[in-house]
Structure 1
Amino acid sequence: MTQELAGKVAVVTGAGRNIGRAIALTLAEGGASIVVNARSNRAEADAVGREIEAAGGKALVHIGDVADAMAVQAMADAAVKHFGRIDILVNNAALRREKPFAEMDYAGWREILDVTLDGTFHCVKACLPALRKSGEGTIVNIGGLSAHTGAKNRAHVVTAKAGIIGLTRALAHDLADDGITANCVVPGLIGTPRPKDKPEPAHHLIHQTITGNRGLPEDVAVTVRFLCGPGARYINGQAIHTNGGAYLGA
């Protein structure tokens, strides 16, 4: 593949593992310098940074909670100080917990929205001045299949991810005059490692893919990479599903 992202700088949140890690590595393969963000696990983030640099890329690891506006601003400032610019923002950081709605308290509800939805707000606000200067800024938000299908025991997650879709469409309108595109990539049925005490969500088990197999984090990452490249500048405000045909709605 080409180095179509050479000279660009990408901030990827939640980049220490799974889909976020794959996005960071794939954008680096395209030539972008990467700000590898993780909430708290420095070992994982450092490993991704080393992997990027071992392949000849450039990486800056920054630990910070996207739910904390000040921490996010510090991340954006560090990116500009280190690399001189920000061209791409990938909002991947999210929490995906399960609890019946009747047992859900407000603190649990807010925890999900604080990271998934408010965190996206904080990141866009902090990176916006640099994205405007880029002239071809790109925002890619990572959605969720359950926002389109609904899911049992995930009212907070479904609501947050549905909000991401609305925010993406609003940003596409608000930022078009600045040359910034905003799109959402919606993964579905992606095979990622899970802790032994956290089995696969029940709603995954009711969906089947047309391809007959689960996707890989890299399948999501290549979609993100395309949206960040020069061939996708006419795509704006869209929710693009990467799910092997498990969901065929708009």
Structure 2
Amino acid sequence: MGTLQGKVALVTGSARNIGRAIALGLAAQGAHIVVNARRSREDVEAVAADIRSAGGSADVIMADLGEASQVKGLFAEIKDKHGKLDILVNNAAVRRETPLANISAAEWRIVMSSILDASFFCSQAAASMMPDGGRIISMGGLSAHTGASNRAHVVAAKAGLVGLTKALAMELAPRHITVNLVAPGRIDTNREKTGAPNPTHHSGHNSPLGMQGSPEDVTAMVVHLAGPGGQYITGQTIHVNGGIYLP
């Protein structure tokens, strides 16, 4: 029996990479997983299938989380199917690299809505149906603390999550709902292994451990925060970065 047996968890943006690893990790502890993405239905169906083949339980709900109406529909479906949501992992994001002079108003809004708006909408909806003792965990980023060229919109959105986390932690504390932010450092993901251009915002940031992290390293922290061991941790930004950044 896992530590999350009987819990229902939504992992947004869980089609690939860190989101996929988190979904699998929470499922391994017994949680039923709602796998979510905006467009990648084939990928999220594959994640749900992997969970089921390992003996876990999962279903798929597609939604664009930057749209408040779609978030409302997503959570209505979760409530109809499961009656509650115990764990929310705000992982969905758009990660663009664009020089300041070239960031259009449209691109600014796309990035802000996919990261900050989506996390707010989902946290607001989750809190209304989450039992006391629930967990809200958002995924931040190293660049929100170090700065980064060509990422003004992403850095601003991720930094906004720090404030949102603190505010929600205080407001939801009377219900023992913990709210935390996990900030990964350099993580070895599929995006960096495919033909897509490698991200450059972490160039020059080398871990003292001499290695990149894996999605499973991030997952381990999320699973801890979601479980019994995380009950006295709230309002925190927890860095999983191998020592690249020491706050």
Q: TM-score range by the shorter chain?
A: over 0.9
**Which of the residues 132, 135, 150 maps onto 2:132?**
135
In the alignment, what sits opposite 1:88?
87
Q: 1:190 matched to which residue of 2?
A: 187
Tell me the SS of whatever aligns to 2:36: strand
Query: How many correspondences in the alignment?
Result: 246
Identity percentage of aligned residues: 51
Instruction: Provide the TM-score with structure 1 as the length reference.
Output: 0.96
Q: How well do the aligned residues superpose, as a CA RMSD in angstroms? A: 1.1
Could you tell me which residue of structure 2 aligns to residue 202 of structure 1? 200
After TM superposition, give the deviation of residue 197 of structure 1 in Å.
5.3
Helix, strand or coil at the partner of 1:205: coil
Matched residue SS, 1:22: helix
Task: Tell which deviates more after alignment, 199-208 or 11-20.
Answer: 199-208
1:120 lines up with 2:123 in the alignment: no
Residue equivalent to 1:37: 36
Q: Gaps spanning 5+ residues in structure 2: where?
A: none
SS at match of 2:34: strand
Moved more, 182-191 or 99-108: 99-108
Query: 1:49-88 residue pairs with structure 2 within 5 A?
Result: 49-88=48-87
Q: Which structure 1 residue ranges, 5 or more long, are not aligned?
A: none
1:27 corresponds to: 26
Q: 1:203 Cα shift?
A: 2.2
Shift of 1:147: 0.0
Quote the residue 2:215 is aligned against: 217
Alignment check: 8 A CA contact 1:60 1:79 kept: no
Corresponding residue to 1:159 among 145, 156, 168: 156
Determine the structure 2 residue equivalent to 1:111.
Answer: 110
Which of 163, 170, 178 aligns to 1:173? It is 170
Aligned match of 1:149: 146
Which moved further from structure 2: 162-171 or 190-199?
190-199
Runs of 4+ in structure 1 over 6 Å off: none
TM-score for the superposition, normalised by structure 2:
0.97
